[in-house]
Structure 1
Amino acid sequence: MFPDLTRDDVFRIETRRLWLRWPTAKDRDAILKLAGDPSVSAMLARVPHPLAAPAVDAFLLQARSQNAAGTALTLALAPRAAPGSLVGVISIEGRAGAPPELGYWLGRPYWGSGLMAEAVTALCHAFFAYTGGTELAASARTVNPASRRVLEACGFLPAGSAIMPFPARGADLPVDLYRLDRRRWQGSSSEPAMTEAA
């Protein structure tokens, strides 16, 4: 799905305030702290609470493996002023017989700052510009209005609702579904800078 450009760990996307870069082992403690926050993990299908270090290690290995294979693109969000400091994670993963799916989380200290909308816009630009993809899917728990606002601000349109498995929550939970297609993306502006330089 993703081209050679993104399959090297020096790949990054730069926005006004962020670097979106491959996650590394050095991000482990930040992920444990930020994704392990119950207010963050409660909204995520695959992040358990409490979050244990072996689960984070497995996530990092899987993310880097999928990035290298081009089957997904998982990137750490880091402030441009401190590119080694992870504040969240964003990804696009391929799905058999369905549009690729956007997912993300942001550490609670950074909520309300507009950083996630900045990151979503940047990764959507990368997806449509570099993969030839025609549509992206996303979902948000119905109890997560902030995530819905991010998707809508980035051009995603509502596409109904569903009950989806949240294995880390031990239940199937209601979500709002969203879609962004290539035509709508082409009508947007402010493409971020892309670079392969480290």
Structure 2
Amino acid sequence: MFPELARDDVYRLETRRLWLRWPRAADAPRLSELAGEWEVARMTATLPHPYRVGDAETFIKTSREDAARGEALRFVLTDKGFPRTLLGAIGVETGDGGPQLGYWLGRPFWGNGYASEAAAAMTDAFFLITGESQLGATVVAENAASRSVLESLGFVLVENLDSGPGRLAGNPTLRFALRRRDWQAQSDAACGFVRAPIEP
């Protein structure tokens, strides 16, 4: 899915306030601390709880291995002003129905717009460097903040589920999707471009 460009460990994304970069071995203790809070883990399908340093080390290792095969792209979020300060993680990987966007933030950083900023950068990178036609995302229905992030990026609700994957089993879950042509139309509008109609 991801080309050689994204498999190089110097590849990273920059936003107004953030760096999105490869996870490193030194990140494991902080990842464990942030992801170890139940209020963070419970909104995700796959974060182990408790989230030990060993879990973080596994995340770092598998992120590198999956990236080397072009199967996933996972980054940690850091503050540009304090680059050693981790805020959370974000990634795109193959899931049900194709590529899926996923992310989480440590509780101290909620409510500051970091998730929207990081998700926008990751979504743009996904469509710019891959040939995929659609990016999906799944959120637990009660997670209004995550739903707002997706809707602000143009993701549309495509399915209401009575139960989600992993930890979300038994919980009402929402599946969202953003098509390439809709992402392109938004990008063109933001840049003031006028293009010929996009073929379906």
C-alpha contact 2:32 2:55 (8 A) present in aligned 1:
no
Deviation at 1:83, TM superposition (A): 2.1
Q: Which runs of 5+ in 1 are unaligned?
A: 192-198
1:132 to 2:131 alignment: yes
Counterpart CA distance in 2 for 1:107 and 1:65 is 25
Q: In the alignment, what sits opposite 1:59?
A: 59
Q: Does 1:94 align with 2:89?
A: no
Are the aligned partners of 1:34 and 1:108 in contact in 2 as well (CA < 8 Å)? yes
Larger-gyration structure (1/2) = 2
TM-score (norm 2): 0.89
Q: Distance in 2 between matches of 1:148 and 1:63?
A: 25
Alignment equivalent of 1:179, drawn from 168, 174, 177:
177
1:95 shift after superposition: 3.3
**Helix, strand or coil for the counterpart of 1:137?**
strand
Shift of 1:165: 2.4
Cα offset, 1:99, TM superposition: 2.0
Runs of 4+ with >4 A deviation: none
Query: What code does the residue aligned with 1:179 have?
Result: A
Alpha-carbon distance between aligned partners in 2 of 1:99 and 1:48, rounded to the nearest angstrom = 23
Q: Which residue of 1 aligns with 2:118?
A: 119
Most deviating of 77-86 and 115-124: 77-86
Shift of 1:26: 1.2
How many residues align structurally?
A: 188
Q: How does 1:152-163 map to 2 (within 5 A)?
A: 152-162=151-161, 163=163
Unaligned runs of 5+ in 2: 192-200
Which residue is equivalent to 1:144?
143
- Looking at structure 1, the residues matched to 30 and 114 of structure 2 have their Cα atoms a distance apart, in angstroms, of 17
CA distance in 1, matches of 2:11, 2:166: 31
In 2 relative to 1, CA 172–61 (structure 1 residues): closer, same or farther, beyond 3 Å? farther
RMSD between aligned residues? 1.6
Per the TM alignment, residue 85 of structure 1 is displaced from its structure 2 partner at its CA by 2.1
Contact 2:140 2:164 survives alignment (8 Å): no
Q: Is the CA contact (8 Å cut-off) linking 1:30 and 1:87 kept in structure 2?
A: no
TM-score when normalising by structure 1: 0.90
**Partner SS for 1:66:** helix
CA contact (8 A) 1:137 1:180 kept: yes
Structure 1 residue 179: Cα displacement? 0.4
Partner of 2:48: 48
Please give the per-residue CA displacement for 1:45-83, whole angstroms capped at 9, x wherever unaligned: 111222122211111111111112210000111111122
Instruction: Tell me which amino acid in the other structure corresponds to 2:179.
Output: D
SS of aligned partner of 1:138: strand
